Structure 1
């Protein structure tokens, strides 16, 4: 607008063609700088897309990369994984003891019945104590490893943020409010992923593997029915997590904008009050919240369908197990004792997979948070302030002279940092530079 007013004024004054030509050159230069800024942003987006597509397998698999970052705590993680394996392997044994307890009530003599039930109860008590120790080791080990990983991720993320060029923070998803939210909530979500949830995942997988081997030893036909159900539930869980991860990424962008707006309003509350724009600010914030709600409604129907199938599949599984068990008993290929063990194992396995499904929402949030951190770690800034490449001055005495210096960032060609800057600094001289930042005077001292 200012440029147009200048051009109109110059058009009226035909006696000054030099000013007219100068104004035209400045306008063309501003247009060219804006176009270069757009091209730089597009090029950076293409480069980031190519980097994402060329990631290795370990970089794509979030859990493996988290474990690789936590390599220094491999002993603690090994203790937790060993506890998970033993805890998962003990569940099929519970089905054996459960079948023995049920079979003990078939004795005619009260003394024999009482003796077998008491012995089975004692075994249950011993196994309960063992599981108590295993669960304590499991959750303690993964909690220690998760806290150490969170500390590393926060430190590395902050270091990577300091390396980024200024244009990185011009993007709407990289404002101060959005970055603060990521450093706090996303790091906590990653800690849960590498802590207690990792223990639940390992324990469920161990239960499934040992249970399948145990079930095949008893009867492969009944185990096959349970295995098909487990595979279907795993695929449903994966689909639910994929939808939630996508929803989480989109929702984080919207909530990051909302957080940025809230931070700016709070920091400039006096200006908001003086300008009487409370209703406009409230409208912008409400629009962002409504956009997040609308995004949630888009994914609500498919997630509800997946959840409905997920929570009813165990009922149909047990129905098929009972039907096939009846056929096997009629053909005298299976005894009632074996049926009780297989049914008990099926219930334990299905409940373990269901537990993973219950945690799918939180696991999806943790995966989304870890991916956002890894995208930051893998991003190579256009201007790397941590690089030691370039010209080094061998004989430097501190006599600095700036004469008519004009400086702009390559990634921000429309923002002039220095324009005809002149300054002479003598050796051992202290200098104070004053400037305006958000309507505040900022003074920086150098010595």
Structure 2
């Protein structure tokens, strides 16, 4: 009876081979995630339908808001009251549609994400159970680390499928409806506002990102100082025994000194960035009203259409910027892809090695 050698001792596997490259192997790519979610295609259609409905809500709401503003230009009080009452009912209807569209969107995509998470965990656990004992001897493959990946990081991967599709469909629908409505109402003002949309989007996006970055850096400084202080409190007996109180205070001051300089520098950059973003936003509003006012004086556009196009296109720029800031948060879900890739590449390496062993036995 021949002894089967360990797979780790087989030298037939060439680590420099192109098929062993993780980037060229059929690992956990985005397309594979979509294929793993293929059984829920009906849920995807319902979720996209809800995303389309919720994406169209904002331009319609802005359209009605511009109509309400134009109502106050009438001199007839009774007509003003009737129009205001009518638009109040419209806003109530928009709220109901927004509720059900949002519920339909997030409910179906949440089911897709949960089932995708379940399949990923089952696949990863199935692959782990086929690995050799030596694989678990590595520090990054200890039981606690593997359990952490299965419990937390697999849940983040669903952001790459459900949440991203939902956001893309919603933003695309909102932008399409807004641009079409704006061009139909007043193409002259709409072309001007659309041409400055990149500046508006960049202004809103930079404002949200800079504010978030400032809070993250300040939180980092507080965490490092709090960690040192908590360790000093826990080990206060040892510190007192060696008379190291002054040394701990010096370490605490040094911990905060570098971060304080970085925070001051970041505050200057953030202040300048916020000033530029706020200036560009206000300048875009001023340009729109100035150009629209000139067209109103010439009788080329009415006040109602001007306000409608302004609210529609300006709110669309803000929505796109908010979606861009959310996509940076959802990009965190791409990190678990790199963390789960070794499970798939290890499975591929193992299958290739076993195949080479079987071929060598036949020879």
Q: CA deviation at 1:133?
A: 1.3
Partner of 2:105: 138
Q: 1:227 aligns with which of 178, 197, 201?
A: 197
Higher strand proportion (structure 1 or 2): 1
Secondary structure at 1:199's aligned position in 2? helix
So what's the TM-score if we normalise by structure 2? 0.65
Is 2:148 the counterpart of 1:178?
no
- How many residues align structurally? 296
More helix by share: 2
Describe the shift of the 1:232–1:154 C-alpha distance in structure 2 as closer, same or farther (beyond 3 A).
same
The 3 A distance-change label for structure 1 pair 371 and 325 is farther
Aligned residue number for residue 85 of structure 1: 52
On the 8 A contact 2:200/2:284 being kept in 1, the answer is no
The CA distance in 1 between the partners of 2:344 and 2:167, in whole Å, is: 27
Aligned counterpart, 2:246: none
- Is there any run of 5+ residues in structure 2 with no aligned partner, and where? 1-7, 214-254
Match of 1:189? 156
1:129 and 1:307 map into 2 onto residues whose CA distance is: 38
Corresponding residue for residue 74 of structure 2: 107
Which of structures 1 and 2 has the bigger CA Rg? 1
CA drift of 1:349 comes to 1.3
Distance 1:185 1:159 in 2: 18
Deviations 1:316-344 (A, max 9, x none): 44344334434444554433222211221
Shift of 1:347: 3.4
The alpha-carbon distance between structure 1 residues 69 and 340, as it changes in their structure 2 partners (threshold 3 A), is same
TM-superposed deviation, 1:71: 0.5
Which protein has greater RCO, CA pairs closer than 8 Å, 6+ apart? 2
CA RMSD of aligned residues (A): 4.4
Cα shift at 1:156: 0.9
**So what's the TM-score if we normalise by structure 1?**
0.54
5+ residue gaps, structure 1, are: 1-35, 245-289, 393-447
Quote the residue 1:211 is aligned against.
178
Offset of 1:371 from its aligned partner? 4.0
Q: Output one character per residue of 1:202-243: Cα deviation in whole Å (capped at 9) or x when no partner.
A: 322321222222223332423423432366579979xx8xxx
Q: 1:356 to 1:122 in 2, by over 3 A?
A: same
